[in-house]
Structure 1
Amino acid sequence: MASKEYGVDLDALDQLVKELNQVLKDMGGPKDKAKNQTYLPEGALGKGFDERGKLHNAHNEMKDFIQNQIVDKIEGLVDDFGKKSQKTKDAYADAEHDNTMK
């Protein structure tokens, strides 16, 4: 019975890591918008009505949710996957190098 050999495309893994790093770099735009470009100044919603404070608080809560619960978690997920992909690529590259030395 012939043994089956499996190969790993190190170039594809390297490309994946590069693309994930680019995604992280591109995440700066949405992160910046969520953090700095959604400012709602006091009084922007008007004055002298009871719901003004509730609307202002709702805006701040949603801004915080988008920044901390969505954008930061996506960024963390992509970063974690990129680091694991880099480790995997490095391990395969080391194993391939070790096998050629023998």
Structure 2
Amino acid sequence: MAKEYRVDLDALDEVVRKLNGVLKDMNGTKGKAGSGTFLPPSSLGKKYEEHVMLHKAHGDMKKFIDSEIVDKIQSLVDEFGKKSKKTKEAYDDAEQDNKLH
């Protein structure tokens, strides 16, 4: 006798919806991280040797957080969401095929 597996398609669909919500929330966070952390050059003071270095370090860190953390997390969540959706659709198709036969 073949083993039978049961898949909760509603739960899988909920996973996809929640991941899409995470992506939507991350887009807002990414925008805030970029514009909400703007640092005008004069905010660190002027006329001292480290001024330019500090301002550049701030810009470099913003770029690093954006590209090495936020973008990678977004990509991971997006990929998992797409794979989850594809899996759910495959189970939906299999269920329909079983009903027809």
Amino acid at match of 2:84: S
| Number of residues of Structure 1 aligned to a counterpart in Structure 2 | 101
Structure 1: tracts of 5 or more residues without a match: none
CA deviation after TM superposition for structure 1 residue 56, in Å: 0.2
Number of the residue aligned with 1:24:
23
The offset of 1:97, in angstroms, is: 0.2
Provide the residue aligned with 1:87 in structure 2: 86
Report the counterpart of residue 98 of structure 2 in structure 1: 99
Shift of residue 37 of structure 1?
A: 1.0
State the partner residue of 2:67: 68
Deviation of 1:3 (Å) = 3.2
Q: Percent identity?
A: 59
Output the CA distance in 1 between the equivalents of 2:47 and 2:2: 80
Matches within 5 A, 1:35-46: 35-46=34-45
After the TM superposition, list the runs of 4 or more consecutive aligned residues in structure 1 that deviate by more than 4 angstroms. none
Q: Which moved more, 1:27-36 or 1:78-87?
A: 27-36
TM-score, structure 1 as length reference: 0.94
What residue ranges of structure 2 are gaps of 5+ in the alignment? Answer: none
